Structures are given as C-alpha cells and as structure tokens.
Amino acid sequence: MKQNSKNKKDLVVLDFDDTIYYNPRKNYTVDINFDDILHANTFFGEFAYQTQRELSLLKSSKFILITGRQSHQERVILDLIRLKGYDISESYFIKIQDYENNIDNTTFLINYWSQKAQLIHQLRISGKYRSITVIDDDSVICSILSRLNYDIIQAKLFVLDMGLQILFTRLNSALYNSLSIDLDSNIKIKGDV
C-alpha cells in the first residue's frame, strides 16, 4: 500500500568515505580517525548554504547511509557518526562474502556501483519517499544517477588551515556563485550552524 503524499518524507542518501569521512589514503579498515568525520552541523549547514536549501527541510528528512565498507564495520561506523550528530535511519554495507570471492578491484567496483545504483532505484520505485537526494563523492555513482534524473549533489571533503571543509556541487548545474574559492588564499564558507 502506497503512502499518502503528505505523509511521505524526503530521503537523503549519504555515502561515508570522502563524503562525511575524510579518507585521502583510501584506508577502508575499521581504524577510523574520529576527527576526520565532519560534524553533522557543519555538513548540513554547508549543504543548506551552498545549495540554497532550507535547513528545516533537511532536518525533517530521513537519512540512509549506503557504503562499500564491509558489514562487520557497520556498528563502529554508525556509532562514530552518531557521536558526530548524524541521525541515520537505515544503513547498507557490503556483505563480507562479497569480498571473499577473490575478484579483482575493477570487478568489485563495477559490482559495487551497479548494486548501489540498483538499491537507490529500488528506494525510488518503492513509492515510500516524496523525493530522493543522493550526496556522494563518487563521480561514477553521481554520473549514473544524474543520467537517471536523480537529485545528485557531489561532495568533496578537503583540509585547509582552518580544518576539514566540504564543497557541494550539483552535478547537472554550474558551481554556485554563493561559494567563493581562492585556493591561493582562503575559502569562504558561511553555512556552519
């Protein structure tokens, strides 16, 4: 039975590595530096500021985490991001047997991208959500879903003198004029809540 449109929530699908967790070394072990997880207030404040979306609408959305991390890391990762202020309703991690098939990295990535896109599509056709916004750093996932008319925001975490920062870009639009970047001097980010 499909829900009444008034009762449906907006869904935000988040990725973990390099979207809310700064992982430049591509270390996918359970050894996660807590300081490299961007606080939810900063993440959503910047998201609202850079994309010109209402913060109140974001706070009333449902959040799902979909990551290529192994399922045995799920509890640790969810505990850490909750400590950083994220309220995740559901999460999807790769099952350990997917890693045990001794496949090469290229095959793993193709399978991961395909499974992630299929999962997000299943969420869309379930009819449970008013809208779905995907926030991910992965250009392949963003490109696939953008071509399928999803609301895609590409995230990029980076470090400046002032600490961990994030840049959001709509994949199908020009970079927002409200964010001024001069990499030789400073970055001006005003959305921190």
For residue 158 the two structure tokens come to 């980076």
The encoded tokens of residue 153 equal 């925001």
pLDDT of residue 4: 64
Q: What is the mean pLDDT of the chain?
A: 84
pLDDT at 96: 53
CATH 3.40.710.10 fits 5-188, yes or no: no
Residue with more model confidence, 63 or 104:
63
In tens, the pLDDT along 129-139 reads 999 999 999 99
pLDDT of residue 97: 59
Q: Which of 14-28, 32-46, 98-112 is predicted with the least confidence, judged by mean pLDDT?
A: 98-112
Give the integer Cα–Cα distance in Å for 174 and 180: 13
Greater confidence, 101 or 137?
Answer: 137
Between 50 and 103, whose confidence is greater? 50
Please report where in the chains the tokens 């959040």 appear, as a residue. Answer: 63
Query: What are phi and psi for residue 15, nearest 5 degrees?
Result: -100, 165
- Note the pTM of the prediction, 2 decimals: 0.83
CB within 8 Å of 75: residues ≥ 6 apart: none
Residue 187 has pLDDT above 90, yes or no: no
Name the more confident of 80 and 5. 80
Q: Which residue has the tokens 């793993």?
A: 108
What are the residue boundaries of the structural domains of the chain, listed by start? 5-188
Place 111 in a pLDDT band, splitting at 50, 70 and 90. Answer: confident
Which residues are CB-contacts of 100 (< 8 A; sequence separation ≥ 6)?
A: none
